[in-house]
Structure 1
Amino acid sequence: MKLSKAMGLYLIGLIIFLLGLLVPAHLTITKNLLFTTTVLGAGYHVLGEGLGDTINQSQRQHQFVPNIHLLMALAAVGAMIIGSFEEAALLILIFAGAHFLEEYAENKSRSEITALLKMAPVQAQRLSADGYWQTVLVKDLQIGDTLRVLNGAQVPTDGRITKGQALINEAAISGESLPQEKQVGAEVFGGTINGNSTFEMQVTKDSEATVFAQIIHLVQAAQDSPSPTATTIQKLAPIYVKIVLGLLPVMLVVGTLIAHWSLDVSFYRMVGFLVAASPCALAASAVPATLAGISNLARQGVLFKGGSYLANLAHLQTIAFDKTGTLTRGKPQVTDQYFEFPKNQEKLISVIVTMENQSNHPLAQAVKEHFKQVVEITDLTCHNQVGQGLSAEYAGHFYQIGKPTSFKQVPSTFAKRCQRWSSQGKTVVYIACDYHVIGILAFMDLPKPSAQQAINYFNQQQIQTIMITGDSAATGQAVAHNLRIKQAITNVLPTQKAHVIAQLQQKQPVAMVGDGINDAPALANANIGVAMGSGTDVAIDVADVVLVKNDLSKLSFAHRLSTKMNQVVFENIILSLIVVLVLVVLNALQLTNIAWGVVLHEGSTLLVIFNGLRLLFMQR
């Protein structure tokens, strides 16, 4: 690993300090020169940031803007003025060493973005106009290009499989550890790893608009956006330093006139006060913890666009969900079935599947998926009558599939089922043979398993759960009841969702979770907007949080991590303030020296850093 200039000078300074300790005590000048060299060498970046940055910021803002390192630089200079060269050198060595460790610890929490950048695809195999495969740069790919992905290779960009099949590791995108099976027509994402087969794909997104590129952009943006606590600390730091500097002459006067210390002792204790009051640990209380939390969640497939959103997530009192595609799967499924003649059921189902296979109605796909093992009838032609449903003639009989209002006379056994299932929010269709209803199917857009886990969690946390949907009251209430959602707001037009969020915000902070274009205004207006990764680009753009894998249970994990992060930051702040208070008192009572003050002070700084880094390893 290549050493930086500051680190190289620090190591040289450390060696010189050790040599100074070996020099005999009577060679005072030689020892002091070696210790002074240590201060200048090992403290190169401390003095630079302390004095240089203070001058630059003060000139830029046209006012005195000191930073924390200025206190340490002044403490070292003060120690040398009173002849404590060895303590000055030790102060700089410990402080500078701790500073390097702080940087290492903070960089540790940024490792996710570094790993992502290393994983970014660079090349792709593209089919040329003359039918040959060419190796090209990913940045040169165009939407519509045909690519070939070899076994074990990276998927170069987002697209759709056009030939072959694959078993793809999508951990880099979604955090999902198990490989995903992909068939023709399935979406694949750049940066994921192909298994042991070769497939062809068509590019569907520009390289800068891929999910992988968005993840990198969002994580970078979030890591550069501090939490409210970190921002407050950063704003207060110069004020705090000014106060400490203002108290220095007070300390000197109090020491000589009230405590009756000698001038040397008073000056020494003033330098000790500089060390004790330095807010290094306080400054490090929030940033590493926030970065660690954001990085952990990025690894899990939860992307925050800023540290403030992660910090505020724990304070939510209400969370509103869109229904279709967010809480539910986004497509209907067959939930119930009943046929009058069970013995002829297999033949009837074959007729139903064959008819539905000739329809493009959303319910047709649900029927085909539910009865996917059924063999179709080859010589059956189906007719689609608008408003009436499907009809077909087969083997001398006339078959119909349609909504209940299409049938005038319905046996009570079917009518009762239709009424019961409809009251549960299900869509019902009848199957008739020769105008006599002989079967009934019920459909519903079922909730996702992850939605139930998330709702259970938020209910346990006493967070009000609300569903906002354009569906009828019956359907909305049925889904809400199944998921144990506390309140369902139904028959809401797309343009009204933002208004509903605004009304809820009059009482308390609100998060909105959605995936569609119609959710975008509500996501933008909510205190925290959460978009599903499969949602529209507009929804993802305006949201503050993106769930890459559409897994709502990861939102509950994010809430737990947010709560833990705020707790860790609070612990760090309290610890930092206690250490400062204790060191100031011990210094005033002359129970500690500068060296021990530095050890205890920087020890507390490292403690809060590593306390924050625990969030990197928090598990779901």
Structure 2
Amino acid sequence: MEQGQIVTTGREKISLTESSRFDQLLEHIELIAALLSGLFIFIGWLSSQWNHETISMTFYLVAFIIGGYAKAKEGILDTVKNKELNVEMLMVFAAIGSAVIGYWTEGAILIFIFSLSGALETYTMNKSQKEISSLLDIQPETATKIIQGREEVIHVSLLKVGDQIIVKPGERIPADGMIIKGTTTIDESTISGESIPVTKGIQAEIFAGTMNVNGSVIVKVTKHANETVFQKIIALVQSAQSEKSPSQLFIERFEGVYVKIVLLVVLLMLVVPHFLFDWSWNTTFYRAMILLVVASPCALVASIMPATLSAISNGARNGILFKGGVHLEALSHVKAIAFDKTGTLTKGKPEVTDIIVRTGVDTKNLLHTIASIENRSNHPLAHAIVDYWKKAHDQPLLQPEKIEDIPGWGLKGWLHHQEWWIGKKDFVGKDALAFENGRAMELEREGKTIVYIKDSIGIVAAIGLQDIVRKEAKHALTLLKNEGVQTVMLTGDSKNTAKNIAQQSNIDEYIAECLPETKVTSLKNLKDKYGVVAMVGDGVNDAPALATANIGIAMGEGSDVAMETADVVLMKNDLSRIAEAIRLSKKMNRIIKQNIIFSLTVILLLITSNFLQFLNLPLGVVGHEGSTILVILNGLRCLRG
């Protein structure tokens, strides 16, 4: 066996399978404990009906221990760590108090329902982790590295920048890199959301986690395993799940104060009613225990976190990554969104939109000549013209005899012993202004970039190019308007270009000729005007503006700096996801409000009923713990849609 090769034996596979089953069992351990507790309570109740009190109490005691262990441990550890009592401790005190006064059944039921609500909370946490688990499953653990002509299977963490790996048909790509040998078709739906596979050849960029469909390629690694796009996605989701929203932080601070107040009132309840209302000691203690149960803010505490985690999971599943609940919560308050133009509203590269040819000249032959000369240039406008020719015609390009590049102006090319000038109007001559009755100048006024072509006679053609608006941009902006959001475009382009793009994309207003620092100033002005403002961008120059906005939104195909600076990342580069994110934020905040109002109402109703002696302990337990389960289930609605 070659050094470093990874081999899994049959015995190891069985061990891994058993380990996997054990891990699955651990995931549901809280639910299993809660159900076992319920079973022992039922057996204890049956035993009491048959007058076997000792057996009944034994089963109740077992139900206490099995059902209450997880929550009691959590409560004790949190109390020791934070030096403050919490809701879990209130439940433990209430259950013990119920047993002390002989209400074993009620105390056991309290523990059962409390453990069941805890299992539901754990389910929510596990559900929110599924997106990370699915991503980790997609990311391969091993790679086939080429070392001195031989293949060696190693762990992806051992790959270094510059290593060469081979990716065979049907394998997932283990690292971000560049193809240096071979051609293949790659399914990039896990990164871009685009379902149609893309054909890629030498020097093409590929991403970890995408699927190599049909070709064998050799790839040069360009990023460390912990710097790949997939690892960034995982890090973003993990960060989002650990960061708490303002509402959650408020509830946690409120919980500490509230628990102290409840315990103080319960202590007073143990003494005052006996002397003030002439209650018996048994009644006083009984009502104090009911108060301890019903006044605990379990439902209130559970009103926010399950809903927030569910919403973050929903977003991650749909390609919207939130870097924390605070950003998700704030998104519903956005009144205006500023968009960068290039690469955000537009595709980020110019395309040919208009061709004006001198009367009497064959357009196809002329374009063939222009594309053949421009093929020798690295300028983006030249690439656009060449791409336009290749998409329309299968005819191979010609080889110019000579090319002379004049930086900042254009090209001179000689083809078939004829000289051609291609570039700006000042480069080709004053005749450009009058070419074809000034039609080219009309295109320029529309904000398009014009490339002029001149032969030995004079101006022979003018080609209009423009950064094309993304197909989904207009629809996405319409969706935002339906949500009552004002849309603004910030661009460094001229006013004519900005106006043209604004009209095409149906944006409300635009600010042209922006430098990175003026984008920041413009955003500050928008914040003064509208209040909460978001910024959508993709480039390094957008990072200051993304940081200045209340909420920064980065395109997934954008620069690393933009993704790191932003609060929300659109992994599928679909602008319509912004409106979806706002709707998700509104839904989450609406559910949280419902939960808080409902939980507070139930607590007040149960406390009042207890003081009026309308409420017994079983109903108090069911009312209190039932409301906790209901708010958790209501929060899980954020997983849908």
With structure 2 as the length reference, what TM-score do the two structures score?
Answer: 0.89
1:195 to 213, 220, 225: 213
CA distance in 1, matches of 2:341, 2:327: 23
Aligned to 1:19: 43
How does 1:23-62 map onto structure 2 within 5 Å? 23-24=47-48, 26-58=51-83
Checking the alignment, whether the CA contact within 8 Å between 1:355 and 1:381 is kept in structure 2 is no
The CA deviation at 1:15 is: 4.5
Q: Which residue in the other structure is 1:447 paired with?
A: 469
The corresponding residue for 2:398 is 377
- How far has the Cα of 1:222 moved from its partner? 0.7
After alignment, is 117-126 or 10-19 more displaced? Answer: 10-19
Taking the aligned partners of 1:217 and 1:115, their CA distance within structure 2 comes to 14
Q: 1:327 to 1:6 in 2, by over 3 A?
A: closer
Tell me which residue corresponds to 2:575: 552
1:138 equivalent to 2:156? Answer yes
Asked if 1 retains the 8 angstrom alpha-carbon contact of 2:399 and 2:415, the reply is no
User: What one-letter code is carried by the residue in structure 2 that aligns with 1:563?
Assistant: K
What SS does the aligned partner of 1:492 have? coil
Rounded Cα–Cα distance in structure 2 between residues aligned with 1:400 and 1:101? 72
Query: Which blocks of at least 5 consecutive residues in structure 2 are unaligned?
Result: 1-20
1:518 shift after superposition: 1.5
- 2:472 is equivalent to residue 481 of structure 1: no
Q: Indicate how the Cα distance of structure 1 residues 379 and 213 shifts in structure 2: closer, same or farther if over 3 A, else same.
A: closer
Contact 1:399 1:435 in 2 (8 A): no
- Asked whether the equivalents of residues 170 and 176 of structure 1 are also in contact (C-alpha less than 8 Å), the reply is yes
The answer to whether the Cα contact below 8 Å between 2:269 and 2:284 also exists between their aligned partners in 1 is yes
Q: Give yes or no for the alignment of 1:408 onto 2:430.
A: yes
> Distance in 2 between the 1:7 and 1:438 partners?
78
The one-letter code sitting in structure 2 at the alignment partner of 1:401 is: I
Letter in 2 for 1:469: T
Cα distance in 1, alignment partners of residues 224 and 491 from structure 2: 33
Aligned to 2:310: 292
Q: Secondary structure at the match of 1:331?
A: strand
Moved more, 383-392 or 309-318: 383-392
Are 1:462 and 2:484 an aligned pair? Answer: yes
| Alignment correspondent of 2:254 | 236
Match of 1:516 among 512, 528, 539: 539
Alignment of 1:296-307 (within 5 A): 296-307=314-325
Query: What displacement does 1:203 show?
Result: 0.9
Matching residue of 1:67: 86
Given the alignment of the two structures, is residue 421 of structure 1 paired with residue 432 of structure 2, yes or no? no
Contact 2:127 2:313 in 1 (8 A): no
Distance change (3 Å), C-alpha of 1:342 and 1:138: farther
Structure 1 residue 250: deviation in Å?
4.1
1:333-353, CA deviations, whole angstroms, 9 ceiling, x for partnerless residues? 111112123562222122111
State how far apart, in whole Å, the 1-side matches of 2:475 and 2:288 are: 58
- 1:245 Cα offset (Å): 1.5
Quote the residue 2:339 is aligned against: 321
1:529 aligns with 2:552: yes
Identity of aligned residues (%): 42
Q: 1:122 corresponds to which residue?
A: 141
Give the distance between the partners of 1:24 and 1:361, measured in 2 at CA.
88
Q: Which residue of 2 aligns with 1:166?
A: 184
Deviations 1:533-587 (A, max 9, x none): 2222222222212222322222222122112111121122122122222322333
Range 82-91 or range 35-44, more displaced: 35-44
Q: Which residue of 1 aligns with 2:4?
A: none
CA deviations on 1:227-272 (whole Å, 9 max, x unpaired) are 1111211111111111221222444456445555433223222222
Which consecutive residues of structure 1, in runs of 5 or more, have no partner in the other structure? 59-64
Using the alignment, how far apart are the partners of 2:159 and 2:130 within structure 1? 28
Tell me if the contact between 1:166 and 1:197 (Cα under 8 Å) persists in the aligned partners.
yes
Secondary structure of residue in 1 paired with 2:459: strand
Structure-2 separation of matches of 1:265 and 1:449:
72
CA deviation vs aligned residue, 1:422-461 (integer Å, no higher than 9, x gap)? 1111011222232422322111111112322322222232
1:151 deviation in Å? 1.5
Q: 1:181 to 1:571 in 2, by over 3 A?
A: farther
**Structure 2 counterpart SS, 1:144:** coil
Q: Paired residue for 2:412? A: 391
Aligned to 2:129: 110
Q: Is contact 1:105–1:610 with CA below 8 Å preserved after alignment? A: no
Secondary structure in 2 matching 1:449: coil
State the alpha-carbon separation in 1 of the partners of residues 347 and 576 from structure 2: 14
**What is the DSSP-based 3-state SS (H/G/I as helix, E as strand, rest coil) of the residue aligned with 1:604?**
helix
Which whole-Å CA distance do the structure 2 matches of 1:594 and 1:174 have between them?
A: 56
Higher alpha-carbon deviation: 278-287 or 454-463: 454-463
Superimposed CA distance per residue, residues 503-558 of structure 1 (whole angstroms, 9 cap, x where no aligned partner): 33233122122222221122122211122222222222222122223222222221
The within-5 A match list for 1:173-184 is 173-184=191-202
Match of 2:615 in 1: 592
Q: Distance in 2 between matches of 1:216 and 1:76?
A: 41
**1:80 partnered with 2:102:** no
Displacement of 1:415: 4.7
SS in 2 for 1:485: coil
Shift of 1:175: 4.3
Structure 1 Cα separation of the partners of residues 67 and 335 of structure 2: 50
Once the 2 structures are TM-superposed, how far is the Cα of residue 194 of structure 1 from its aligned partner?
2.1
Aligned partners of 1:367 and 1:558: how far apart in 2? 38
1:40 and 1:387, CA in 2 relative to 1: closer, same or farther beyond 3 A? closer
**CA separation in 1, counterparts of 2:398 and 2:196?**
38
Letter in 2 for 1:20: G
Q: How far 1:476 moved relative to its partner? A: 1.7
Between the aligned partners of 1:141 and 1:467, the Cα distance in structure 2 is 42
Aligned counterpart for 2:299 among listed residues 273, 281, 299: 281
Structure 1 residue 89: deviation in Å? 1.6
What is the CA–CA distance in structure 2 between the aligned matches of 1:551 and 1:342, rounded to whole Å?
A: 44
- Aligned with 1:346: secondary structure? helix
Distance 1:367 1:185 in 2: 21
Shift of 1:204: 1.0
- How far apart are the structure 2 equivalents of 1:417 and 1:168? 43
Aligned residues: CA RMSD: 2.5
Distance 2:405 2:193 in 1: 44
Q: Partner letter of residue 573 of structure 2? A: N
Q: Which amino acid aligns with 1:463?
A: V
How many correspondences in the alignment? 611
2:68 and 2:111 in contact (8 A); partners too: yes
Task: Supply the AA of the counterpart residue of 2:321.
Answer: L
Give the structure 1 partner of residue 494 of structure 2: 472
How far residue 24 of structure 1 moved from its aligned partner, in angstroms, is: 4.9
Does the CA contact (< 8 Å) of 2:144 and 2:153 recur in 1?
yes
Q: Is the 8 A contact 1:173 1:192 kept in 2?
A: yes
**Residue deviations 1:406-431, cap 9 Å, x none?**
32234746352122211111011222
Residue aligned with 2:574, SS: coil
SS state at 1:201 partner: strand
Contact 1:17 1:38 in 2 (8 A): yes
Task: Using structure 1 for the length normalisation, give the TM-score.
Answer: 0.92
